[in-house]
Amino acid sequence: MKRLWHWTGPHPDWADDQLRRHYQDLASAGLECVLIEGDIDDREYEVAQSAGLETHTWMWTVNNPVEELLLDHPDWYQVNRNGISCAVEAPYVPYYRWICPNHPQGRRYIIEKAVTIAEHPRSASVHLDYVRFPDVVLPRGLWEKYGLDQTTELPQFDYCYCRHCLEKFSENYNTKALKPSELIKNVYWYQFRYQSISDLVSEIKREVSMRGKGVSAAVFPTPSLARKICRQSWSDWGLESIFPMLYQSFYLEGIDWIGHAVVEGVAESGSRIVAGLFLPALEGSGDLEAAVRSAMENGAAGVSLFGAPAPDQMKLCSDLLGEYAYNLEK
């Protein structure tokens, strides 16, 4: 198990020399694995690999703001409690366009995306992001940004109430189709949505494993928060590695909260926890050191950095992780 990871997007506009220096600098500072977004760019992967890095691919899983899909298959997309499809009106931000995990064709599209990544020889694994429902409740630190009070679950952010979900729920739980106002009082409706995502992950895992590759996922901070915020029950997935996004500032928490979140994730999931750290919320080397130590001292197997790490930040993380090698044996 590698210790030090970095989420990034591709750099198609960078010159070869610039791209080579970028990955060489990070690798020399201790970076081991890079998680690169989207379609595989052979040049980017080749340069990263030549610097000694493992190259993994993160994919947009349930959230798919692909213009062609929106135009050709609007019926694939999720419907909120008000009956409005996110293909028509996106919640929060324009790119929030979520395929329903219970729509047969939409589900197959998602799985085939993962298979395509798994079959590419330059991708070491498939990393799932946006593998959930939309945020029915945003992290508390974002309410002011969007001008919202989400002390209760608002219908315009509560998904999915499409025909496929309602019919499948009725069939699975042997009940008549219920109105949205009735469903929100039904504990099994929440369990159904957790299971809808978990079943999708299981199918992706099975297909990817058949191609000899592994699956990991970026998830919300803790199993309890993930279930509440976005119907994501990641502790049930049985993935070898999970990358919780422990962005403490989003939750109006201090750095110690990172360690508490790791403890819950380790206890409930049985997966290796790679702590996702949000560099823009860590001011100076002192904050970064405290975040790494909080994660590792509470059972994390490594860290993944989100942002634009400088080589000195990467070296600091690498040096600190060397003190916690015993975690890798877990």
Q: Which burial class, exposed, middle or buried, applies to 85 when counting CB atoms under 10 A from its CB (0-12, 13-18, 19+)? A: buried
As a whole number, mean pLDDT of residues 59-81 equals 97
- Asked if residue 330 has pLDDT above 50, the reply is no
Number of domains in the chain: 1
pLDDT at 292: 98
- Asked if residue 329 has pLDDT above 80, the reply is no
pLDDT, the chain, mean: 96
pLDDT tens track for 165-202? 999 999 999 888 788 989 999 999 999 999 999 999 99
Q: Is 18 left (phi over 0), alpha (psi -120 to 50) or beta?
A: alpha
328, two tokens = 């890798």
Task: Transcribe 244-260 into DSSP letters.
Answer: EB--GGGGT--THHHHH
pLDDT tens track for 100-156? 999 999 999 999 999 999 999 999 999 999 999 999 999 999 999 999 999 999 999
Cα torsion 242, 245, 251, 257 to 10°: value is 60
Report the amino acid identity of residue 198: S
pLDDT at 6: 98
Strands 272-278 and 33-37 turn out to be: unpaired
As a whole number, mean pLDDT of residues 84-112 equals 98
pLDDT at 325: 72
pLDDT at 324: 87
| % of the chain surpassing 90 pLDDT | 93
Range of the domain at 240: 4-329
The CATH number given to whatever domain includes residue 248 is 3.20.20.80
Lowest mean pLDDT among 23-32, 95-104, 177-186: 177-186
As a whole number, mean pLDDT of residues 305-312 equals 96
83, two tokens = 């009956």
Q: Which pTM does this prediction carry?
A: 0.96
pLDDT at 327: 53
pLDDT tens track for 242-275? 999 999 999 999 999 999 999 999 999 999 999 9
